[in-house]
């Protein structure tokens, strides 16, 4: 076929990545009779010289997704799981430095918490656990052979203030029916991600577990301390509290569904509702999202995911 008679190419390959998603690994550390549990959900995404596998079907540059899953399990034994961040760093470094075709690795990790059951019987406190019903800890580590980006966070952290929340002074148009309120319930389910300014292994890494615990504490304390005139204002206060108190964090991205609590009309029953009985609606919900940045820092956490 001559060039002139060859049909014009209408497609080309755009950005791509691959890897095993959601490898569930549980690592038990047996310190005598006292056991510790790390329970993770690890997703690996690799990218690099992967044109041929898409365009010609040659798999010569492909480290299989099955291998990436096996590596997660092997590294849980070989390196242990000191923290989600440290585990992600081990994995990302391994994939990028051991395979010439892999130029970038992104490791997402969710951690599910387990608490000891303090039963009076023998051994209960040492090897029996109950899943913490609260939040899930999250981490995303990205490495391109040069710099690191670590974004940690949490999701499903449900919080409520039963007062100290008002909402008034908003736009009224022909469709507005919402009543102004000077005392409402403010409840949300926090998804937070925060970006560390640590980018290279020449510098000491933060103490990941300490950082997580403190960031979580600051989010909760700011939620509780803020006399709220809107969930947007509370969002900014929560993100600011983390950035102001944690020098290792430059950016906090928050997604806060407004879990509306509507006062129930009890008049038909001859009862007065003095801010006591609410209908907790599950949908629709207002969705308040925003990023808080350290002065001079750039927004790098994606707005939508
Ligand atoms: O804190 C709030 N922010 C809003 O933007 C909003 N909109 C709304 O209906 N209720 C609320 N509450």
163 C-alpha vs ligand 1 centroid, how far in Å?
Answer: 16
Q: Is 167's C-beta closer than 6 angstroms to any atom of ligand 1?
A: yes
Instruction: From the CA of 228, give the closest atom in ligand 1.
Output: 1
What does DSSP assign to residue 269? G
Whole-angstrom distance, CA of residue 150 vs CA of residue 89: 9
pLDDT digits (tens, 9 = 90+) for 147-181: 999 999 999 999 999 999 999 999 999 999 999 99
What is the model's pTM?
A: 0.90
ipTM over 0.90: yes
230 C-alpha vs ligand 1 centroid, how far in Å?
Answer: 6
Angle at 78 between CA 74 and CA 82, to 5 degrees: 110
For the record, the structure tokens of 42 come out as: 């690890």
The pLDDT assigned to 248 comes to: 98
Backbone angles phi, psi at 217, to 5 degrees: -60, -45
Q: Is 230's C-beta closer than 6 angstroms to any atom of ligand 1?
A: yes
Distance of CA 82 to the CA centre of its chain: 18
In CATH terms, 15-145 corresponds, of 2.20.25.90, 3.10.270.10, 3.40.50.1970, 3.40.50.300, to 3.10.270.10
Place of tokens 């993100």: 239
Q: Is 258's C-beta closer than 6 angstroms to any atom of ligand 1?
A: yes
First and final C-alpha spacing in the chain: 45
For the record, the structure tokens of 190 come out as: 């926090």
Q: Is 231's C-beta closer than 6 angstroms to any atom of ligand 1?
A: yes
Q: Is 303's C-beta closer than 6 angstroms to any atom of ligand 1?
A: no
Catalytically active residues, by annotation? 20, 65, 260
What are the residue ranges spanned by the domains of the chain?
15-145, 147-305
Would the CATH topology of 15-145 be identical to that of 147-305? yes
- Choose among 188, 56, 205: nearest CA to 143: 205
Whole-angstrom distance, CA of residue 40 vs CA of residue 23: 8
**Fold of the domain spanning 147-305:** Urate Oxidase (3.10.270)
Mean pLDDT value of segment 61-90? 97
168 C-alpha vs ligand 1 centroid, how far in Å?
Answer: 9
Mean pLDDT value of segment 67-71? 97
**Whether pLDDT at 270 is above 90:** yes
Mean pLDDT value of segment 62-66? 97
- Residue count of the chain, please give it: 305
DSSP string covering 4-34: TTSPPP--------B----EEEEEEEEETTE
Whole-angstrom distance, CA of residue 303 vs CA of residue 305: 7
Residues of the chain above pLDDT 90, percent: 86
């Amino acid at each position: 076929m001559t060039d002139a008679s060859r049909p014009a190419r209408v497609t080309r390959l755009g950005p791509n990545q691959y890897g095993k998603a959601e490898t569930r690994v549980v690592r038990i550390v047996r310190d005598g009779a006292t056991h510790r549990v790390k329970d993770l959900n690890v997703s690996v995404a690799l990218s690099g010289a992967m044109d041929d596998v898409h365009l010609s079907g040659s798999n010569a540059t492909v480290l299989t997704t099955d291998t990436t899953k096996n590596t997660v399990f092997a590294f849980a034994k070989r390196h242990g799981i000191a923290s989600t961040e440290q585990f992600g760093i081990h994995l990302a470094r391994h994939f990028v430095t051991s395979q010439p075709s892999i130029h970038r690795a992104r490791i997402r990790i969710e951690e599910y918490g387990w608490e000891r059951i303090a039963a009076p019987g023998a051994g209960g406190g040492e090897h029996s656990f109950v899943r913490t019903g609260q939040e899930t800890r999250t981490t995303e580590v990205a490495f391109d052979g040069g710099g690191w980006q670590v974004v940690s966070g949490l999701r499903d952290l449900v919080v409520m203030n039963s007062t100290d929340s008002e909402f008034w002074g908003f736009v009224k148009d022909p469709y507005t029916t919402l009543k102004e309120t000077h005392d409402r319930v403010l409840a949300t389910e926090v998804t937070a991600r925060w970006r560390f300014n640590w980018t290279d292994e020449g510098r000491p890494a933060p103490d990941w577990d300490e950082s997580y615990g403190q960031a979580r504490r600051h989010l909760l304390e700011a939620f509780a301390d803020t006399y709220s005139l809107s969930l947007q204002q509370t969002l900014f206060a929560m993100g600011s509290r983390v950035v102001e108190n944690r020098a290792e964090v430059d950016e906090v991205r928050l997604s806060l569904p407004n879990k509306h609590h509507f006062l129930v009309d009890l008049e038909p029953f001859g009862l007065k509702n003095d801010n006591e009985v609410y209908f907790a609606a599950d949908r629709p919900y207002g969705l308040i999202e925003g990023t808080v940045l350290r002065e001079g820092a750039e927004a790098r956490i994606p707005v939508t995911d």
